[in-house]
Structure formats: structure tokens, C-alpha cells
Chain A
Amino acid sequence: MTRPFDEGTVVAIAHGEGGSQASAGRKVDGPALAVEHLTKRFGNRAAYSDVSFEIGYGEVFGFLGPNGAGKTTTVRTLGTLIAPTSGSARVAGLALTVANGAAIRRRISIMPESPGLYTRLTVEENLECFAGLYGLSDARERIRRALGSVNLLERSQDLCGALSKGLRQRVALARALLNDPEVLFLDEPTSGLDPVAAREVHELITAMRSRGVTIFLTTHRLEEAERLCDRVAILNTTLRMIGRPDELRTELFARTLEVRTKAPLGNPGALFAGLSGVKSWSDAGGAAYRLEVTDPEVAAPGVTRALVAAGADVLSIAESRHSLEDVYLELVGEEEKAGRA
């Protein structure tokens, strides 16, 4: 399939011109997004290659990766703006085909990285234009609701060109909510927002999820992905890993206990060697030790007992936590460094 998603016959769908109702709690069968071996090439260069995943309705899915990894191109492909070179996908229940282009666009929304607002038009006029482009019959009410969601009702008559970057971002988000989408693609939604505004966007994402909207979130903010996403995928042209953040941590990193004592142990090797659940140990410097364990909850009591029995003054025993950032850096950090060298 190499033709662009231009025009085509709108397939018969259960939605009116006014958008979908899936987000209003309608039960929907099958995944919201199903991608199989999707590849996009520009000439000899692969923007992304052999990408496969499934996302359920109401899931918040994080799509992470360095600049140029193919995240935005993937979003544009799923949003029917560009055609994949190979592979297949279903978006909001519809096959990603030329013929389904307009029908898919009616069921989804994309908030691009750049707000893309008409700066000579007011906030309301911008939304009015897009309500018309979606063919929404209850445009006034939808605009009011969308502006209310992003706390911009009082700025509705302001020219978009006079708004700060953060406020423009919020207008773009309101625009993305207009058609009540089943699947909402958010490309760096909190980029340029202050912490309070970013938190409001996070709350909005959480609220959308509870209404059954699927959120496809591309972000560089790993703590944001960790906090909001049910699952994340890490892309660097090919999909490197996919799963819940804790699954990724477990898969990439051995589970470890960090032990700190008041004074260095006399013979730590002998002390830790025979303990149940302890696979190996290493000196972390000073009076700290790192124990690789099968399960911290099982190993920690035995380690504590052994330390006390050996007369050690235990300051702390805790499972060392790897952040999503650690996962990300483990997967793409080295490649990025190598690429820049």
C-alpha cells in the first residue's frame, strides 16, 4: 500500500457526522489500535520499520524514542496522513486503507507537536472552523465543553496570535477534543507548558481515559510517561521494547537490594553467599552492598537476619528502583551516543 490517504469512499460506519460515541462509554470490541509489521520508508531510509503492537480501548499508551526515531511518522501514518510502505493496521476499528481515510479521521484526533493555529483568528473562531470541518451539528456546545476542559472559556475571544505558547498548546488540545475522538494522538502535549498547565493536561488525559478514550502519547518526558501510561513502547526506527513500565524494568534490570551498614562488613562474601534468594553481590563502596536477588520481598528478611546475626549495624535495606529513564537510556542511550560519535 503506497498510495497516500487522500480521498475515498467513506465506509458505512456507526457514527454520524458529529463524531464517535465510543468515548461516551459505548462498548467496543477489539483493540483501538492494532499495528502489524508496519514499515515506512522514504527512499532508502526507513522512518520506522516492522512495528507491531496492539492498544486497547481506554488505554494510555506511551510512545517513546529519541528525535528521528519515527514516532511522529508513525502517528501520521495511523492518522492517515501518510501511507505505510508495508504492513497493516486497524485504527478505531477500521482497516488502515485509502478508502477508510476520511472515516478513520472522523473517529480520531491528533494534536501535533506544533499547535498549528490560525493566529489572526480568535480561539473560538479557530474551534468553530474545525467544528465545521468535522461537520459537527452541535458545534457551540462542543466548543464550550472543549474550552472548559482546558480552562480557556474566558479566553475564547482572544486572538490566537496574542496567546502564549502554553495557551496555544491548550487551544490545540481543545481542538483535538472537539470531535469526541475514540483514539487521541498527543504528540508532546506538555511541551512548552509550565508545571501547573502540564498537570492540568495530565488530569485531562486521566479523565479522558476514564471515559474510554484511547490515548497514544508521544513524549520525551519520561516521568510523564511513567506516571500516565499503562504501557509504553520504545522506538528507535524499530520497536525496542513494549510493556508496562515495571515489566520493562524487570526485563532489563536484575532486581537488587541495596544494603547499607554503619561500618564495612568483615567478610561480606561469606555472609551473603549462602542466603536464600541472593544470586550475587557486589561492593557498592564504603559500607554499601548491592545484592542481586530473585525476589526482594523473599530475600530481604533473610538478609536482615543474617546481618543482625553477624553483628552489623544495619542502616537500610531497600530494593533499588530503576526509573523508566534508566530503561530508556539502557535501550537507546548507547545507540544515540554511538550515533553522535
Chain B
Amino acid sequence: MSQSWTRIWAMTKKELRDYRRNRFVVLTMAVMPLVFTVAPMVQLFAVKITTTSPAFNARIGLSLLYMLIIPAIVPSSLSAYSVVGEREQGTLEPVLITPLSSQEFLFGKALAALLPTIAISYAVFGIFLAAAATFAQPAVATAIFSGSHIWIQLLFTPLLAGWSILVGIAISTRSADVRTAQQLSVLASLPPLAVVALITFNVIHASRGITIGLAVALLVIDRFGWRAVAAMFDRERLVTGRRG
């Protein structure tokens, strides 16, 4: 069955409206990026370090890693809510009665989690860069702007968000309650971040090949993982709570 963008967008638009009026979501979207922006910036700008210090690279790496926690963590609670939340609200059945396919439903949900995550992550990173250029020591600013830091951030932000949304929705389709789904999906969103951390801290040498390879691997998982998630989306079990 071909996908209908009208139906997908209807689901996405509904989700975005719902987020906007959900105090918990607004708070998560606002506070979490703030925490992961202010703390590393203060840390980075306040400490005097020399370009030769081994702590220098680690400090910059840590600051940038904080930026990548945002796309990994922020969408996980949104996507974890996506299916089990509808089920708890009693809104899943009316939605499944429409011609909306499982893929369209899941894609609409994913898009609704992805769009604000990307916007917030890039905006926060933009603020971070602007602050670094304006307030950081020249050596720090040079280190941040040179090398592969910027494009790693730009590349991994959507990929990490994609992973996080994928596992969040997968967990949501199988969970019995929202709280469990959210806790599990936060945990499940971390493994790719750990790999990125190893690269950031030079445990794995950040050669262009390794970085691109990792990005491609994440891309492939994000792309084809949806088939597995769609297969897990069992309408009968979701509506009746059991399988015939």
C-alpha cells in the first residue's frame, strides 16, 4: 500500500499540537537542552587550558558530547509515549479504525518526534558555536571550529535522534504502561551515543572512514529498523491486549 502524506501529516500535526499543550513535553523540550548547553559552556569557558594539555581535547570532546545527548534523549520520551500513550488514553482504537496504515501511523509519530528534536538540537548547537566564537578563549574556539567537530555534530544529530525514536516506538508498541516505556527507551537510546563518545574522546581514532562507517551503520539501522517496528505493531494485540 502506498503511503499517503496527507494521513502521515495529519498524525504528525496532531502530535505537534498535543506536545505544545502538554506541560511535561514542553518542560522536557526546554529544560533538557538548557542543562546540556549551559553546563558544558560554563565548564569550557571558565577553565584555563593550554592547547597542549591532554585535558584540553577531552574537555572539548565532553562539551560537544553534551550536545549529542540532546538528540538522543529528548525524542526518547516522546516516542516511548507514542503508542502506549494512545492506548492508555483510549485514542488508539478510533485512529486504527481509519484507513491509516501501521507504517503511516508510525511514520507520523516518528516525524512528530524528529522535527522538534532536530530543530532544538541544531538551535542549541548554533547557540553553542556563537557563544564559543564570542566568549571562549581563542584556542578553544579554534579547536571547536577546526577539525571534524562541526560536521560530526550535524551528521550524528539526526542519526542519533532516528535511533532513539526507532527504539522508543518499538518499546512503546510492546509496553503495557507509559512509565516503563519511557524508562526503557531512555536506556535504549544510549548505546550509539557511547560509540560516538568513544570517537569524541579518541578511544576510537576518529578517522573519516570510521566516522562515516558508523554514520552509515546508523543510517541503515534507522532506515530498515522501521520494518521490524512495523512488524511489531500488532493491531489486534494493541486493541484487545491479547492475541487470538
Is B208 among interface residues, defined by CB-CB distance under 8 A? no
The residue on A at minimum CB distance from B12 is A132
Is B146 among interface residues, defined by CB-CB distance under 8 A? no
Once bound together, how far apart are the Cα atoms of A235 and B91, in whole Å? 27
Contacts of A105 in B (CB 8 A): 97-99
Cβ-defined contact, A133 with B100, below 8 A = yes
CB < 8 Å neighbour of B89 from A9, A41, A106, A119: A119
Cβ-defined contact, B94 with A172, below 8 A = yes
Cβ-defined contact, B233 with A6, below 8 A = yes
Once bound together, how far apart are the Cα atoms of A7 and B89, in whole Å? 24
Question: Beta-carbon contacts of A87-107 to B below 8 Å, as 1s and 0s?
Answer: 000000000000000110110
Cβ-defined contact, A83 with B91, below 8 A = no
CB < 8 Å neighbour of A81 from B17, B22, B97, B102: B97
Contacts of B233 in A (CB 8 A): 6
Given contact pairs A6-B102, A79-B97, A112-B93, A125 touches B14 in the complex (Cβ within 8 A): yes
Cβ-defined contact, A4 with B234, below 8 A = yes
> Which of B53-61, B66-74, B168-176, B235-243 has 4 or more CB atoms under 8 Å from chain A?
B235-243
Is B244 among interface residues, defined by CB-CB distance under 8 A? yes
Is A198 among interface residues, defined by CB-CB distance under 8 A? no
The residue on A at minimum CB distance from B240 is A82
Number of interface residues of B (CB under 8 A): 37
Contacts of A156 in B (CB 8 A): none
Given contact pairs A133-B99, A133-B100, A120 touches B93 in the complex (Cβ within 8 A): no
Is B149 among interface residues, defined by CB-CB distance under 8 A? no
Cβ-defined contact, A83 with B236, below 8 A = yes
Once bound together, how far apart are the Cα atoms of A79 and B93, in whole Å? 10
Once bound together, how far apart are the Cα atoms of A324 and B75, in whole Å? 54
Given contact pairs A120-B18, A125-B17, A42 touches B91 in the complex (Cβ within 8 A): no
B12 to chain A, nearest CB (A): 10
Cβ-defined contact, A5 with B235, below 8 A = yes
* Residue ranges of B at the interface with A (Cβ–Cβ < 8 Å): 1, 4, 6-7, 9-11, 13-14, 17-18, 21-22, 89-103, 233-236, 239-240, 242-244
Cβ-defined contact, B99 with A85, below 8 A = no
Once bound together, how far apart are the Cα atoms of A43 and B13, in whole Å? 39
23 sample A-B contacts, Cβ–Cβ < 8 Å, listed by A number: A6-B233, A7-B103, A10-B1, A42-B242, A43-B242, A79-B97, A81-B96, A81-B236, A83-B244, A102-B1, A102-B101, A109-B97, A110-B97, A112-B90, A116-B89, A118-B14, A118-B18, A118-B91, A119-B89, A128-B10, A129-B10, A132-B11, A133-B95
Once bound together, how far apart are the Cα atoms of A115 and B90, in whole Å? 8
Contacts of B9 in A (CB 8 A): 132
* Residue ranges of A at the interface with B (Cβ–Cβ < 8 Å): 2, 4-10, 17, 40-43, 73, 76, 79, 81-83, 85, 102-103, 105-106, 108-110, 112, 114-121, 125, 128-135, 172, 175, 179
A102 to chain B, nearest CB (A): 4
A271 to chain B, nearest CB (A): 61
Cβ-defined contact, A41 with B91, below 8 A = no
Once bound together, how far apart are the Cα atoms of A39 and B6, in whole Å? 36
The residue on B at minimum CB distance from A108 is B97
A47 to chain B, nearest CB (A): 8
The residue on B at minimum CB distance from A136 is B6
A92 to chain B, nearest CB (A): 13
Contacts of B96 in A (CB 8 A): 81
Residue of A79, A81, A85, A114 with most partner-chain B CB within 10 A: A81
Contacts of B17 in A (CB 8 A): 120-121, 125
Cβ-defined contact, A132 with B240, below 8 A = no
Top 9 A-B pairs ranked by shortest CB distance?
A: A132-B10, A133-B98, A129-B14, A120-B21, A116-B94, A82-B236, A4-B236, A116-B90, A102-B99
The residue on A at minimum CB distance from B96 is A81
Contacts of A117 in B (CB 8 A): 91
Once bound together, how far apart are the Cα atoms of A116 and B22, in whole Å? 17
Once bound together, how far apart are the Cα atoms of A70 and B176, in whole Å? 24
The residue on A at minimum CB distance from B93 is A112
Once bound together, how far apart are the Cα atoms of A42 and B236, in whole Å? 11
CB < 8 Å neighbour of B99 from A41, A114, A134: A134
Once bound together, how far apart are the Cα atoms of A76 and B244, in whole Å? 13
CB < 8 Å neighbour of B1 from A7, A41, A114: A7
Once bound together, how far apart are the Cα atoms of A130 and B9, in whole Å? 11
A229 to chain B, nearest CB (A): 22
Once bound together, how far apart are the Cα atoms of A128 and B16, in whole Å? 14
CB < 8 Å neighbour of B7 from A40, A112, A120, A132: A132
Once bound together, how far apart are the Cα atoms of A68 and B21, in whole Å? 37
Cβ-defined contact, B98 with A134, below 8 A = yes
Cβ-defined contact, B91 with A81, below 8 A = no
Residue of A6, A9, A83, A135 with most partner-chain B CB within 10 A: A6
The residue on B at minimum CB distance from A72 is B240
A168 to chain B, nearest CB (A): 11
Residue of A10, A40, A73, A118 with most partner-chain B CB within 10 A: A118
